[in-house]
A and B are shown apart, each in its own frame.
Chain A
Amino acid sequence: MTITQDPERRASSAPATTRQRRATRIAEAAGGGWGLVLLKIVLLGLILALAVFAALVLIRTDQWVVAAIVIAVALLAVWVYLGRGRLPAKYLMPGLVFLFVFQIFAALYTGYVAFTNYGTGHNADKDSAVNALMLSAQERVPDSPSYDLTIVDQLGELSFLVTDPDGDVLLGGEERPLDEVSGAEMDGGKAVGLAGYTTLTFGDIVAQQERIAEMSVPLSDDPNDGMLRTPDGSSAYVYTSKLVYDEAAGTMTDTSSGVVYSDIGTGAFTAEDGTELRPGWQINVGFDNFTRAFAEQSIRGPFLQVLVWTFAFAILSVLTTFALGLFLAIVFNDPRMKSKKYYRVLMILPYAFPGFLSALVWAGMMNQEFGFLNVVVFGGADIPWLTNEWLAKASIILVNLWLGFPYMFLICTGALQSIPEDVQEAARVDGASAWQVFRAIKLPLLLVAVAPLLISSFAFNFNNFSLIYMLTGGGPRDITAGVNVGATDILITMVYKVAFVGSTSDYGLASAFSIIIFILVATISVIAFRRTKALEDLN
C-alpha cells in the first residue's frame, strides 16, 4: 500500500527523512484505524446510493439537468473524502451543499419567478393550456341521447360500435362517420360484437385509454351535428366543441360567436377587444412585476405607513427583547443568586413553545371581553388589546417580547460569562460604581459578541410573518381607507395580501416583492455589520 503524500509535503523540496516518514506513519495511525475507514466507506456508499436513486427518479421525470447535478455533487463528495489532504474541503463540503440547496437555489429560483407571470391562470406551458381549453370546450349537446358503446378493433384500427336509444346499431371511427351495420352480436339490446372485429375487454380499453379518450367519431358527414366521445369506454355521448384550435395559425376560434383569440405574447389567447381565455401559460415578462410592485395602488397608498411600522416593529422588538434578556442575564449571573438552575429553565420555556401556537394563545388571552388579560389580570376591564390601532401595535411588541427575551437571555448569559473577571475587579479597585462598570466595560465587551446576533434578530423580525398573521392578521383595519391593509401589517404581510388575494395567487409579483424586501434588509444589515467592526477594536 503506497502512501500518497500531502501536497505541502511534496511542495517542500527537501527529501523526506526517515524521521519524517515515521512521524507520518504515527500520525496516520492516530487518525483512527480500520473501523473509521469502514464507517467512511459505508457513509459514502449510502450517499452514492441515494444519489443514484434520486438520479433515476429524476431521469424518469425528464429532469436531466438536476439529475446531472446530483450525480456530480455525489462524485465530488467521494473525491473530496477519499483523497488525502483537501482538509478545508472536507470540512466545508456539507455546509456548502446545504447552503446551495436551501439558500442559493431558493434565492435564484425566486429571482427567476420574479421575471415570469407565474400565478393563477398562468400555471403551465402553452400545450397544457391548449389541452385544458379543448377539454373544457367539449360540451354535451343538450338533450342528446346517450349511446351504449362497445369498442371494437380491426387490425389495430379502433371503432365505436354503438347502439342508439331506438336499438339501431351503428359503427364509426376517427374521421369515419357513423354508419348503420347489421348482423351485430346482441346482448340484452346492446351490440357487443361484430363479425370481422375484435371486441375490447375493459382491460384492453384501460391499456389504450389515452387513445380512446382522445377519439371523436363524427355523428354524420356534417361536423356541426357533433361528435361521439366516451368518458368511460362503455357509453358514448354527443359533443360539440365551443372552441376550434387552429394549430398552424395558433388561434382559438369561438364557434358560437366567431371571435378569434390569438397568441399575441401576453401569455394567453387574446381577442381583439382584450378579453383573454383562461387558462393561459407562463411567459417571461421582464421587469413588469417590479414596475407593478411600485405602481400597484393598493401598495402605494399605505406603503410609507407600513414601512415605518415595519422598522419600528423590528427595531423595538430587538431593543425590548435585548434589554429584558440582558437585565435577566445580569441578575442570574450574580453569584449571590440562589437556585439559578431552576429559574433558568423557567426562562427558556417561552422559547420552547412554537411561535405559531403562542401567538394564537395570546390572541385568545387578549380577547376584549373574555380574554384572560382583561378578565383576570385587569379585573374585568374592557381594554381593546387587538382592536385598537395603537394598542394592537403595543400588543404585538409585548407578545414578541415574551417570545424573544429567552433567546437574548441565553446569548447574553453566554457573553457575560466570557468577560474576564479581572477587568471588573480592576475597575472596582479604581472606584467605579456598578453602573459605570456596566456602561464602560461590560456592555461594550458584551456587544462585541452579541451585535451580529442583534442584527440577525432585526432581519428576522423585519419579516416576522407568522407572529403578525397569527396574532392580529394585520388588523385592525381602517375600513374607510378602502385597501386591504391594517394597522399592524408589516411589509411581508402586506405583500402576502396583495399577491395572494382571496384564492388567486400571483407568484411572479410575490417574488418581485421578496427581492425588493431582500435588498432592503440586506442593505441595512451590511451597514450595521460595518458599524459593528468598530466595536471589535476594543479587544
Chain B
Amino acid sequence: MKVTKRSILAFGAIAATSALALAGCASSTPSGDDASGDKAEFSGQITVWVDADRADVVKDAAKEFTDDTGVKVSLVQKEFGEIRDQFVQQAPTGKGPDVIVGAHDWLGVLVDNGVVAPVELGDRSGEFQQIALDAFSYDGQLYGVPYAIENIGLMRNTDLVAEAPADFADMVAKGKAAGTEYAFLVGLDPEQADPYHLYPFQTSFGAPVFGQNSDGSYNAEDLQIGNDGGKAFAAWLGEQGAAGILNTNITGDLAKENFLAGKSPFFLTGPWNAPAAVDAGLNIAIDPIPSAGGEDAQPFAGVQGFFLSAESKNKLAANEFLLNYVGSEKVQTALYEVGGRAPALTSAFEAAVESDPITAGFGEVGANAVPMPSIPEMGAVWQFWGVTETALINNKGGDPAALWEKMSADIQGAISK
C-alpha cells in the first residue's frame, strides 16, 4: 500500500471514530454515595450465578450484603439447566463465578471436576434439615449451603375423595369408587416410563437403588435394585399395567390436564404442579404416598442450594454471603415464597409449614424421603431403568423377575466398566 495523504487522512478519521466508540464502551465508574458514613467502604466483589426464578430474592440479599460489608455482588443470570456445564467449563479459567445456584445431584460431576470447595457451617449446621445436609455432602464433606427441598407427594382432590388412602390398594379402591375416568394419575413416558415418580412404590418393596453407608451417603459398590423386593416390584408393575392403573401413554402433561379437569381424585406429583391445581379452583390436600409393597414409600428428595467455587479468589467474602445471607431465615423464606419449595433451614421450614397446608403436606412426605444419589454411577442406572419399567408396565419382554434381573446386571456392568 502506497502511503498517500488520502490514506493518512482516512486512517486518522478511523482512529478518531474508534476512540469515540471505545469511550462509549468504557463503563462509567460507579458513583457511590459516600456521604452516608455508616456504609462500609467498598472492597472487593463476588460474582454469583442465579437463574431467573431466584434472581430477585438473591438481588435483595446481595444489596443487604453490600450495605453491610461493602463487598459488591455482581449477579449473572443464567438458564438453570445450563449452569452446571458452563460452570464446569469456566471455573478452571479462573474467571468463573464465586457462587452458583444449583441442584444437589450435580455434586458428583462438580466434585469429580474439582470445581467446588467445601463449606463449613460451624455451629449453624444444626439449623438445617438433616436430609438437605446429607444431600449436599459428598465423601463426608459438605459442599454448599442448601436452601430448598423438593419431593413428590400424593395430591388428592378433596371434593372427590374425602379421606387419605391407607395403602395403594385402598387408594385404587377409593379412586374407582369416586367414579371418575381414572382412579389414579402419574405422568409417565411411552419410552422411558418415569423411575423418579415410581421410585416411592419401588422403595415400598424394599428395593432402593444403592445401599447406604453409615453416614447416609450412597455406596456405589452395593447395588440393591435387583434384590427380591425389586423383583416383587417388577411383578407389581406388570399387574398395575394390565389393570390400567399405570399407563405409559399418559405423559406428565396429560396427567396434569386430566387431574385439573377433575378426571381423577389422585395425582402423584410435586409442588411444581400445586399452583396450577389451586388456580384451577380444585380443593387439594397432599397425602403421604401410599405403600404398595408394605414398607415405607420413600420418594427421592431433590435439594437445591448454592455452591462455592474452588477457584474463587474471594472465598471469605463468598462464604460470609452464603452462610449469613443466603442461609438466613429471611432469605430462605423469601426463596420459598417465589419457588414454593420447602426451605432447607428448619426455622424457615417450620414457619412455611404453619402458613401453608400444601407445603406442610409435601414436607411431611419429605420427612420420609431419601436424597437422590449424586454419585456418578447413577448415570448408568438411568440408562436402563426407565425402559425396563416401560416394558414391565406394558407386559412386554417376558418374565418380570428375569427382566428386572437383566436390568440389574446391565447396570452393574455399566458401573464396573
Q: Which residues of A contact B (CB under 8 A)?
A: 1-2, 4, 37, 41-42, 44-46, 48-50, 52-53, 61, 78-79, 82-83, 120-121, 123-125, 128-129, 131-133, 135-136, 138-140, 146, 202-203, 205-207, 209-210, 212-213, 230-233, 235, 237, 278-279, 364, 367-370, 386-387, 472-473, 475-477, 479-480, 482, 484, 486, 497, 501-505
Contact = CB atoms under 8 A, between A and B. Distances in A.
Contact of A503 (B109, B250, B313): B109
A480 B397 contact: yes
B35 interface: no
B1 A79 contact: yes
Interface stretch (B37-45, B155-163, B202-210, B294-302): B37-45
Nearest to A476: B191
A52 B26 CA distance: 12
A136 B118 contact: yes
Contact of A45 (B17, B378, B406): B17
A206 B314 contact: yes
A206 B113 CA distance: 27
Contact of A479 (B376, B387, B413): B387
Given A123-B114, A370-B250, A45 B21 contact: yes
A514 B2 CA distance: 47
Contacts of B70: 202-203, 206
Nearest to A501: B379
Contacts of B93: 61
Contacts of A61: 93, 95
B181 to A, nearest CB: 12
Interface in B378-399: 378-384, 387-388, 391, 397
B17 A42 contact: yes
Contacts of B118: 135-136, 138
B108 interface: yes
A357 B211 CA distance: 40
A231 B122 CA distance: 9
Interface string B347-359: 0000000000000
B245 interface: no
Contacts of A482: 384, 406, 409-410, 413
Most buried by B among A203, A232, A279, A386: A232
A49 B315 contact: no
Given A45-B13, A206-B317, A480-B397, 12 more contacts: A2-B6, A48-B15, A49-B20, A61-B93, A128-B310, A139-B140, A210-B313, A231-B122, A231-B315, A278-B111, A479-B388, A504-B376
A207 B45 CA distance: 10
Contact of B320 (A52, A139, A233, A278): A233
Contacts of B20: 45, 49
24 contacts: A4-B6, A37-B10, A45-B15, A45-B18, A49-B19, A82-B7, A120-B109, A120-B113, A120-B376, A121-B113, A124-B91, A128-B311, A136-B111, A136-B139, A202-B40, A203-B40, A209-B313, A231-B316, A237-B122, A279-B111, A370-B254, A479-B407, A480-B406, A502-B383
Contact of B190 (A78, A368, A480): A368
Contacts of A505: 85
A50 B20 CA distance: 11
Most buried by B among A120, A368, A501, A503: A503
Chain B interface residue number, banded? 35 or more
B141 A78 contact: no
A472 B111 contact: no
Main secondary structure of the interface of B (DSSP, over half): helix
A53 B379 contact: no
Interface in B232-247: 247
Contact of B22 (A52, A120, A484): A52
B127 interface: no
A131 B93 CA distance: 14
Interface of B: 1-2, 4-7, 10-11, 13-22, 25, 40-41, 43-44, 69-71, 85, 88-89, 91-93, 95, 105-106, 108-109, 111-115, 117-120, 122-123, 139-141, 190-192, 247, 249-251, 253-254, 310-311, 313-317, 319-320, 323-324, 376, 378-384, 387-388, 391, 397, 403, 406-407, 409-410, 413-414
B190 A387 contact: yes
A48 B14 contact: yes
Contact of B123 (A42, A138, A146, A207): A146
B14 A4 contact: no
Contacts of B108: 503
Contacts of A364: 251, 253
B43 A128 contact: no
Given A49-B22, A278-B114, A367-B249, A128 B92 contact: yes
B16 A45 contact: yes
Contacts of B71: 206
Contact of A121 (B18, B69, B105, B112): B112
Contacts of B5: 1-2
Contact of A78 (B14, B92, B139): B14
- Which 9 A-B residue pairs are closest in the complex by CB-CB distance? A502-B379, A45-B17, A132-B114, A124-B92, A279-B114, A49-B21, A369-B249, A209-B316, A475-B191
A91 B319 CA distance: 55
Contact of B114 (A78, A124, A233): A124
B18 A49 contact: yes
Contacts of A212: 316
B65 to A, nearest CB: 11
Contacts of A202: 40, 69-70
A60 to B, nearest CB: 9
Contacts of A52: 18, 22
Most buried by B among A1, A79, A484: A484
A370 B89 CA distance: 42
B15 to A, nearest CB: 7
A135 B310 contact: yes
Contacts of B16: 45
A273 B242 CA distance: 50
Contact of A123 (B113, B251, B319, B320): B113
A504 B379 contact: yes
A362 to B, nearest CB: 13
Most buried by A among B17, B109, B319: B17
A501 B112 contact: no
A501 B13 CA distance: 56
Contacts of A42: 17
B287 to A, nearest CB: 27
B214 to A, nearest CB: 13
Contact of B18 (A48, A124, A207, A472): A48
A232 B15 contact: no
B44 A206 contact: yes
B115 A132 contact: yes
Contacts of A49: 17-22, 25
A502 B382 contact: yes
B391 to A, nearest CB: 5
Nearest to A212: B316
Nearest to A1: B6
Given A278-B114, A476-B191, A232 B320 contact: yes
A384 B317 CA distance: 57
Contact of B383 (A41, A45, A79, A484): A484
A367 B188 CA distance: 12
Given A48-B18, A83-B7, A501-B380, A4 B316 contact: no
B140 A479 contact: no
Contact of A44 (B14, B314, B397, B410): B14
A206 B191 contact: no
A129 B111 CA distance: 11
Contacts of B119: 231
A368 B249 contact: yes
A232 B122 CA distance: 10
B122 to A, nearest CB: 5
Nearest to B382: A502
Most buried by A among B85, B92, B391, B410: B92
A129 B376 contact: no
